């Protein structure tokens, strides 16, 4: 004996993204965090990051 196929349609509803005040507060917190990281990381760490990026780009160019 066969079962009948199920013909139900499920609707997915996502919660709303929040109020405008919550979104603005989130953006301000993200910007503040980025600003703190940029200002508090010492110069030698930024130069090490730039140096690593240059090495990576150089390796990519040599592989072509």
Residue-wise pLDDT for 40-64, tens only, equals: 999 999 999 999 999 999 999 999 7
Q: Do residues 59 and 52 lie in contact, with contact meaning Cβ atoms separated by under 8 Å?
A: no
Asked if pLDDT for residue 11 goes beyond 90, the answer is no
**Residue 47 maps to a domain:** yes
Contact 40, 34 (CB under 8 A): no
Domain that holds residue 28: 20-63
Please tell me the total count of domains within the chain.
1
DSSP 13: -
Q: Would 7 be classed as within a structural domain?
A: no
Tell whether pTM > 0.85.
Answer: no
Residue 56 inside a domain? The answer is: yes
35 within some domain: yes
The full length of the chain comes to 64
Q: Does residue 51 form part of some domain? A: yes
Q: Could you tell me if residue 2 is inside a domain?
A: no
- The answer to whether position 55 is within a domain reads yes
């Amino acid at each position: 004996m066969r079962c009948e196929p199920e013909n139900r349609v499920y609707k997915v509803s996502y919660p709303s993204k929040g109020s405008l005040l919550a979104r603005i507060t989130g953006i301000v917190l993200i910007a503040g965090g980025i600003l703190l990281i940029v200002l508090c990381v010492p110069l030698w760490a930024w130069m090490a990051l730039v140096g690593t990026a240059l090495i990576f780009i150089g390796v990519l160019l040599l592989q072509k």
